[in-house]
């Protein structure tokens, strides 16, 4: 199944606080980092490792080290709020950036920036906190695949059924990890109940 709802109790608590309109940007950013840590750990369970020997203070012991590359690709600008936990968790992560802006009247996103590292041998983590229509995430999948990505996982905070349907149609090989499945999109293509505009709340630019 390509969709993974992360219902860890900590994730449930954090999502509730992210939804709260009283949560200010500084706390919102901290909550986003905490939730991304949970999502990233779940999404990277299958990473390949190599065995080696380490000397403890008492004797030799077998240990494991990561042997598979990881690339984190936030979708600007909201995805930036999910980047720092991944670079803190994984020492050798490569980072790329995709800039997509959504036309508010059509809800169609267009690309204005794309800078990606080598992706062919890496697990690529796409960071898009709000999977609404799925248009932005689908275009980002197209871009990373064109750059050689074969193993792609999309990390989102909240998903809507419409976005899930689109990803399953257009990119059935992409696994999606998310912390909440919401009811629907409104007429402006915002997720309901949602948590508002993630980027605005992250940086205090709403209103």
Residues designated catalytic: 102, 106, 197, 200
Q: Collapsing DSSP states into helix, strand and coil, what is residue 71?
A: strand
**Upper half-sphere CA count for residue 151 (Cβ side, 13 Å):** 14
Per DSSP, 196 falls in state: S
C-alpha 112/C-alpha 100 separation (Å) is 6
CB neighbour list of residue 174: distance below 8 Å, 6 or more residues apart: 2, 126, 141, 152, 153, 154, 167
Taking phi first (over 0 means left), then psi (-120 to 50 degrees means alpha), and beta for anything else, what does residue 134 get?
left
Secondary structure (H, E, C), 158-193: EECHHHHHHHHHHCCCCEEEEEEECCEECCCCCEEC
Closest CA to 125 of 76, 177, 49: 177
| Tokens describing residue 67 | 């042997």
């Amino acid at each position: 199944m390509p969709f993974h709802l992360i219902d860890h109790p900590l994730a449930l608590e954090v999502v509730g606080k992210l939804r709260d309109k009283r949560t200010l940007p500084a706390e919102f950013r901290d909550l986003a980092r905490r939730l991304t840590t949970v999502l990233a750990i779940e999404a990277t369970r299958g990473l390949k490792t190599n065995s080696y020997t380490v000397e403890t203070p008492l004797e030799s012991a077998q240990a494991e080290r990561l042997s598979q590359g990881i690339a984190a690709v936030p979708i600007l600008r909201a995805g930036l709020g999910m980047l720092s936990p991944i670079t803190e968790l994984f020492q050798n992560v490569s980072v790329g950036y995709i800039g997509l802006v959504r036309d508010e009247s059509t809800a169609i996103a267009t690309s204005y920036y794309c800078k990606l590292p080598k992706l062919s041998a890496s697990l690529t983590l796409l960071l898009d906190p709000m999977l609404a229509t799925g248009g932005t995430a689908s275009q980002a999948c197209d871009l990373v695949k064109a750059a050689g990505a074969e193993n792609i996982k999309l990390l989102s905070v909240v998903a809507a059924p419409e976005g899930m349907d689109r990803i399953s149609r257009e990119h059935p090989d992409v696994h999606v990890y998310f912390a909440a499945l919401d009811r629907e999109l409104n007429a402006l293509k915002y997720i309901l109940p949602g948590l508002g505009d993630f980027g605005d709340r992250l940086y205090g630019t709403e209103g």
